[in-house]
Structure 1
Amino acid sequence: MSIITKNQTIINNSCKSLVKYIKVSNVSYLIVEKEDTISNTLIKHYDNRPTKEYIDQLLKIGCIYHQDPIEITKIKTVPRRVQIDKVIGKGSLLKYFFYPRVDTTDHIDFNNFNKYIIYENQYFLVVDKPHGINLGSIVDHLHNNFTSFLKDWLKKRRLNDNSDHKFNLNNPHLLDSPTRGLCVIAKDPIFLSKFNKLLSDGKVSKIYKAFVPIKENDDSSIEIKPGIYKHFMKSTSYSPKILFDEQDETNSLKECLLKVLKVERKEIYVPLGVKDVSIDLLQNLNFNDVGKGNLRKQTKRLLFNVVDIQLITGRTHQIRTQLSRLGFPLLSDIMYGGKSLNYLLTEDTDLKNYDSLHWPKMIGLIAFNLSFQCPITKEKYDFNIVNK
């Protein structure tokens, strides 16, 4: 039996180091040589090192996919997620993530989860998704995301209200894990279908605040003026995304359009050593010094250009890539050349903040305004979380 990694390298059973529980990110593929259950197949493949309980947990959280051999399906198919152990036949393909990504959730206020819900009716919810958590499920985890937590909270509320109303939640919006902001979450399948049509027709307006760090006496903001900015993105399945100023000869690049509505400066006094996800960039933060002498809390004044942006097209990482292309990477957007909050807080001090070595859980991008007309009731909505 052999295992095929994403880069198609064959690793035989003699490769023992693969399963020493060192976190790896690559997906693995396994061609089954003998009919057996999924759990037994993986346990035997790894010489009995993973436990049945561990494999069951991988199944439960959606880390394992199965594809029947073409002799059975007669057509080419794709691996489908399985969440219960079952017998699979010879020639089947298993796709699995042995070490799924898990976002920490210590910054999520589960005791006051209602604060994230901006509006709710029978068809949809509008939520303020916090930084540092995926909006929906990802390929290697079904449950470690905001929508799953919201569904659990709604279930508890339903039990407390003695309600028997059942629902499924779906995400028509896409919002990156480190980005905060307003999203519609559909409760009704008819609404979901009609709202998706609104999105494709460009009839849903979303406005973002982008926070670009600047230094004292920096006049670079004159280069970001209100108006429409256009770039072209290479179509790839991976990140970071690549932008160009002009279309290529084959006309294969995707057009990226955004509109800068306004640019203003903002200063924030932030305590040294603070966690990035605990800062609300929308509020007028001004932390006062506390204590005396060596016990006095140290703060640092940070300056930002705050850019209000309306997307015209909706490409992956579009605001992040376009501002970076213009020379103005977002706060903490390391992927596109930005500096982390912790770096900005400690760059001119003798303090060593080891959190700055970690990938930030937030970036300076917030979807603060959302407006649309309900495709069912025809009621117009305009949501805003600035100074809510």
Structure 2
Amino acid sequence: MAQNTNLKNLFSDEKATFVLVDEASETQKIDNFLLKILKNVPKSHVYKILRSGEVRVNKKRVDTTYRLMIGDQVRIPPIAIEVERTPHVIEPKQQQTDWLDTNIIYEDDALLAINKPSGYAVHGGSGLNFGVIELIRHVRPKAKFLELVHRIDRETSGILLIAKKRSALVNMHDMMRHNRIEKKYTMMVEGEWTESKKTVELMLKKTFTQGGERRVNVTEDEDDDSQNQMSKTIFYLKKSLGPYTLLEAKLITGRTHQLRVQLAHLGFPILGDDKYGDFSLNKALQKKGLKRMFLHAFSMKMKHPLTEEPLELRAPLPLELDAFLSQQAS
């Protein structure tokens, strides 16, 4: 399967490599498929070989919108970039996997839902050997199919869905595209929020810093730019806590860093946010016990992707956030 492919066997400085698409990669877009396989190759280079036609599917040129089918033969050109060549497999440490079993919220033959702790990326990369999906595959080596349904930020805790069947993954992606999955978050922000209910709609634009780190900004530019996306959230006031406010948010769209950017733009940055927050306040809060971002995905409602039975998932507030909330409320 593609998810267990030995990357060192996919590269050659002299000739192209051919990969046969199986169930694990069916319906996946060709660019995402390549990014998954060519983890050590810069993203810009992956898109360059796609645009140039060096990547072929069944001997034909394809663009980034092409979705793979079982049996497709993908030609990957020789890439002269230094890659991982160690003959042994690096395994995660025991403490990295100990939390998995105790954080399962729901599981059946098609779906696994976990309460992801803060500090864990959903997948490896950016200097991380293991993300949540790699850890789950490590502790369940006999599983035939395990794929992320969606992503949440490394610093955010809460509900994360993993598909155990390709059909479940496809159906859940369709539900997400048509806004048929209700996601709710809880967060504590700086400032005194007074409105009981507020709908926020803002255009967001993805950018990258000189160091290659992703950033999202609010923009007034409504041009047809692939990096511009409208975001929509409904915020609810839950509790006023003097200089801080506890809010609940219902996502209508699911853009990158949506809640963090919207709230920072409105002047209510999330406590502990190291990208868009109040950095001096965050440093002071660390001394008071808040050593992470106060953002937690606590609720998800949807129909089961295969049976269509109503499914409601809930993830309790982590102990460190609950302790900080109690400290502020006292």
Tell me the TM-score range normalised by the shorter chain.
0.5 to 0.7
Matched, 1:118 2:105: yes
Instruction: Please name the residue that 2:277 is paired with.
Output: 337
Instruction: Please name the residue that 2:299 is paired with.
Output: 369
TM superposition score normalised by structure 1: 0.55
Pairs within 5 Å for 1:50-129? 62-63=39-40, 92-95=78-81, 110-129=97-116
Q: Distance in 1 between matches of 2:217 and 2:55?
A: 41
Q: Distance in 1 between matches of 2:295 and 2:39?
A: 29
Instruction: Please name the residue that 2:328 is paired with.
Output: none
Instruction: Please name the residue that 1:380 is paired with.
Output: 310
Query: Cα gap change, 1:107/1:308 in structure 2, threshold over 3 Å: closer, same or farther?
Result: farther
Q: Distance in 2 between matches of 1:106 and 1:35?
A: 37
Query: Cα gap change, 1:306/1:97 in structure 2, threshold over 3 Å: closer, same or farther?
Result: farther
Matched, 1:258 2:233: yes
Q: Deviations over 1:222-277 (max 9, x none)?
A: 2x541211111125466221103x553x354421110012331359xxxxxxxxxx
Q: Deviations over 1:27-59 (max 9, x none)?
A: xxxxx9x74999xxxxxxxxxxxxxxxxxxxxx
Matched, 1:146 2:132: yes
Q: Distance in 1 between matches of 2:138 and 2:265?
A: 40
Matched, 1:316 2:246: no
Q: Distance in 1 between matches of 2:38 and 2:60?
A: 28
Q: Distance in 2 between matches of 1:227 and 1:331?
A: 20
The structure number with the bigger radius of gyration is: 1
Give the secondary structure class of the aligned counterpart of 1:259.
strand
Q: Which 5+ residue runs of structure 1 have no aligned equivalent?
A: 1-31, 39-59, 79-90, 99-104, 156-164, 215-219, 268-302, 348-352
TM superposition score normalised by structure 2: 0.64
Give the counterpart of 1:241 among 216, 233, 246.
216
Give the secondary structure class of the aligned counterpart of 2:80.
strand
Query: Cα gap change, 1:94/1:210 in structure 2, threshold over 3 Å: closer, same or farther?
Result: farther
Is the CA contact (8 Å cut-off) linking 1:226 and 1:263 kept in structure 2? Answer: no
Query: Cα gap change, 1:229/1:328 in structure 2, threshold over 3 Å: closer, same or farther?
Result: same
Q: Distance in 2 between matches of 1:151 and 1:129?
A: 15
Q: CA shift at 1:62, angstroms?
A: 4.5
Q: CA shift at 1:310, angstroms?
A: 0.6
Q: Deviations over 1:141-188 (max 9, x none)?
A: 6x5101111222234xxxxxxxxx632211111111111110110001
Query: Cα gap change, 1:379/1:36 in structure 2, threshold over 3 Å: closer, same or farther?
Result: closer
The CA RMSD measured in Å over matched residues stands at 4.0
State the one-letter code of the partner of 1:242: N
Q: CA shift at 1:343, angstroms?
A: 3.0
Pairs within 5 Å for 1:137-286? 137-138=124-125, 143-155=129-141, 166-214=143-191, 220-222=192-194, 224-236=195-207, 239-244=214-219, 246=220, 248=222, 250=223, 252=225, 253-265=228-240
Q: Distance in 1 between matches of 2:255 and 2:180?
A: 16
Instruction: Please name the residue that 2:24 is paired with.
Output: none
Is the CA contact (8 Å cut-off) linking 1:63 and 1:140 kept in structure 2? Answer: no
Give the secondary structure class of the aligned counterpart of 1:334.
coil
Give the counterpart of 2:117 among 130, 150, 154.
130
